[in-house]
Chain A
Amino acid sequence: MRRLWIGLTYAVFLILLIAPLSKIITSAFSGGLAGLGRALGRPEAMHALMMTGAIVVIVTLLNTLFGIMMALYLVRATWLGGKIKSLLNSIVDLPYAVSPVIGGLMIVLLLGPDSIIGGFLEGTGFRVVYAFPGMIIATLFVTFPLMVREVMPVLQEIGNDQEQAASTLGAYSWLTFRKVTWPMIRWAVVYGMVLTIARSLGEFGAVLVVSGNIMNRTQTATTLVYQDVENFNVAAASGVALVLAVFSAGLLLIMEWIKKRKEVH
């Protein structure tokens, strides 16, 4: 009986993970190395990968900054009332609960050309939706809880004793953060960053809705894969997917390494 369960587990693992991955690899190399080069060398593929890279970098930076700040406020701020805090705390999880597609839709409704804010911004020549800024916002929306939820428990666990000790020794908040709080949360932050990178690399739904998936303009790696598949260009799709998969695997390794570091600390 136990054998059966173990066998089943391996089977599921094989069918769900290994088989698709090897299929992607063989498919990506179906035209040989040159075929893969051609698939990735297409201008739209280059652009899409650049786009994804830019989104990953910007979103990770913004999410790290705001995520840490949000976590600090939610855990430490005494000037925030308890009710406001618990409200904010549940709002942070909203992106977990809401489908990314709907998240994207909310952004379109709020900032699209037909909305008040979007219309105003359009007037000043600044496009949000169907443009790069909207894609950043959409990706931020889906990744926002990742950093907050990594950092908050660490802040709660360490308590504010050490920070108070620092303040009685003459250190103001910025110095206290740099010298006392940061060294204790940094591995949680790095872990949150890796999660954010992984999520923004692979984000599809929200970005698809917000970007309009315009080739060479607002297309990301994932939406390009989607379009290639639609066009029955499976080999090209696999090529791009393989690039994403390689990055993901790298991130996975980094995550394992960080987890060990976190435990040491």
Chain B
Amino acid sequence: MHIQVRNLDKHFGSFHAVKDVSFDIEKGHLIGLLGPSGGGKTSILRMLAGLESPDSGEIAFHGQVVNDIPPQERGIGFVFQNYALFKHMTVFDNIAFGLKVKKAPKSKIKERVMELVELTGLKGFEKRYPHQLSGGQRQRVAFARALAPEPQLLLLDEPFAAIDAKIRQELRSWLRELIERVGITSIFVTHDQDEAIEVADEIMIINQGRVEQKGTPWDIYKEPKTPFVATFIGESTMVEEASVLKGFDGAGSRGQARALIRPEYIELGHEQDFPILSATEEGIVRHLHFRGSEWLVEVEVKGRKLVTYRSLEKDTLQPGQEIRVLIHRAYLFNEEDSWIEENRLKVDPMPVMI
């Protein structure tokens, strides 16, 4: 189902929870909503499902506005954060609920439920009640129940929040696969970056009721549109005045700017390692942390602490050691604007043109 959301607004009392949110989702895509707690992710999902009505703005499925259509008629599967399974019904009855409501014939219901039981790996558990299941099994029941009436859109509110790390990992690749197989448009909320990056076709970063950015995980990582996104996704260190860094002194041309530097933007080496030494800073290694497959190095440059990774293959550094630091690029921003700037000195200042 193709989904269009235009200028969605929602207040709870005087609190402005969702602010002018617009986005499009293509049919069959899996979208991750990511953002800090209280940002408005659940509110957006609930408005899509019709459980909450927006103050203004439009929601359209297949180009048809659904604002006035009740949740019962929207053809949406919703997996709640706490699963909200029907406590007094067996697994079978839980999954069958949506089909029974639609008055599907008994044989059809049985067939579909058994198909889903099989698909979700719940075979043998049909007669159990929710309180007799593990967290992961409940999650699957919730998932099967939402899928049973063949919805066009699947909404998942932190589907793995209550599950421990290892099973979570399994479940999310299982989910990814299943959604691909069923070919259903899906939106899921998560607090976990890795989860969003791993599972989603596209990510939407939601903060303080706004969509900060929407794009593929790679795009968002590579080109964050706002400082918030830049700090929220991936690791980085912040330098208050970008212009003190070599190669970024031109940053001042657009006014005072702050710099965000990711570990992979930084290269460490000895003097002979860099063809253009003037582009590098002098630094002192402060700390080394072993990270399993690489070193995390904290290095001090002009009194500021920068963080980078270093391959185990290269010679091991010592704390206190002097070292050259090349900052390849930085994510710069000020009040008005944000942009990515390459180190100006890295390129030969007098290239030979023939």
- Alpha-carbon gap, A166 to B76, bound state (A): 12
Q: Which one of B77, B84, B149 has the highest number of Cβ atoms from chain A below 10 Å of its Cβ?
A: B84
Interface size class of B (residues with CB under 8 A): 20 to 34
Q: Is the CB of B78 within 8 A of A168?
A: yes
Q: Which B69-121 residues have C-beta < 8 A from chain A?
A: 70-74, 76-78, 80, 82, 84-88, 97-98, 101-102
Which residues of A are found within 8 Å of B85, using beta-carbon distances?
A: 162, 165
The chain B residue sitting closest to A182, CB to CB, is B88
A169 close to chain B: CB less than 8 A: yes
B51 close to chain A: CB less than 8 A: yes
B145 close to chain A: CB less than 8 A: yes
Q: Which one of A158, A167, A175, A183 has the highest number of Cβ atoms from chain B below 10 Å of its Cβ?
A: A167
Which residues of A are found within 8 Å of B70, using beta-carbon distances?
A: 167
- CB of B149 to closest CB in A, whole Å: 6
Q: Which A175-201 residues have C-beta < 8 A from chain B?
A: 175, 179-180, 183-184
B187 close to chain A: CB less than 8 A: no
- CB of B107 to closest CB in A, whole Å: 20
A170 close to chain B: CB less than 8 A: yes
- CB of B1 to closest CB in A, whole Å: 15
If A168-B77, A169-B145, A169-B149 touch, whether A162 touches B98 (CB-CB below 8 Å) is: no
- Alpha-carbon gap, A169 to B75, bound state (A): 8
The chain A residue sitting closest to B73, CB to CB, is A170
Q: Is the CB of A172 within 8 A of B72?
A: yes
Which residues of A are found within 8 Å of B149, using beta-carbon distances?
A: 169-170
Which residues of A are found within 8 Å of B102, using beta-carbon distances?
A: 170
Q: Is the CB of B82 within 8 A of A161?
A: yes
B49 close to chain A: CB less than 8 A: yes
Which residues of B are found within 8 Å of A99, using beta-carbon distances?
A: none
If A164-B51, A165-B78 touch, whether A170 touches B98 (CB-CB below 8 Å) is: yes
If A169-B149, A170-B149, A175-B101 touch, whether A162 touches B84 (CB-CB below 8 Å) is: yes
- Alpha-carbon gap, A166 to B94, bound state (A): 10
A171 close to chain B: CB less than 8 A: yes
Q: Is the CB of A168 within 8 A of B87?
A: no
Q: Return the contact of B51 from the options A168, A169, A171 (Cβ within 8 A).
A: A168
Q: Is the CB of B88 within 8 A of A183?
A: yes
If A167-B71, A168-B71 touch, whether A162 touches B101 (CB-CB below 8 Å) is: no
Q: Return the contact of A164 from the options B84, B87, B101, B146 (Cβ within 8 A).
A: B84
If A161-B80, A164-B84, A165-B78 touch, whether A170 touches B49 (CB-CB below 8 Å) is: no
Q: Return the contact of A184 from the options B50, B71, B88, B145 (Cβ within 8 A).
A: B88
- CB of B345 to closest CB in A, whole Å: 58
The chain A residue sitting closest to B102, CB to CB, is A170
When each residue 10-49 of chain A gets 1 if its CB lies under 8 Å from chain B and 0 otherwise, what string results?
0000000000000000000000000000000000000000
Which residues of A are found within 8 Å of B71, using beta-carbon distances?
A: 164, 167-168
Which residues of B are found within 8 Å of A165, using beta-carbon distances?
A: 78, 80, 84-86, 145
A260 close to chain B: CB less than 8 A: no
Q: Return the contact of B101 from the options A158, A161, A171, A265 (Cβ within 8 A).
A: A171
- Alpha-carbon gap, A61 to B24, bound state (A): 53
Q: Is the CB of B88 within 8 A of A171?
A: no
Q: Which A146-176 residues have C-beta < 8 A from chain B?
A: 158, 161-162, 164-172, 175
If A161-B82, A172-B72, A175-B101 touch, whether A167 touches B88 (CB-CB below 8 Å) is: no
Q: Is the CB of A180 within 8 A of B86?
A: yes
When each residue 62-93 of chain A gets 1 if its CB lies under 8 Å from chain B and 0 otherwise, what string results?
00000000000000000000000000000000
The chain B residue sitting closest to A159, CB to CB, is B84
Q: Is the CB of B88 within 8 A of A169?
A: no
- CB of B155 to closest CB in A, whole Å: 8
Which residues of B are found within 8 Å of A166, using beta-carbon distances?
A: 86, 97, 101
Q: Is the CB of B88 within 8 A of A170?
A: no
Which residues of A are found within 8 Å of B98, using beta-carbon distances?
A: 169-170
- Residue positions of B touching A, CB distance < 8 A: 49-51, 70-74, 76-78, 80, 82, 84-88, 97-98, 101-102, 145-146, 149
Extra contacts, 16 of them, besides A169-B97, A179-B86 (Cβ < 8 A), are A161-B80, A161-B84, A162-B85, A162-B87, A164-B80, A165-B86, A168-B74, A168-B77, A168-B78, A168-B146, A169-B101, A169-B145, A171-B101, A175-B101, A180-B86, A183-B88
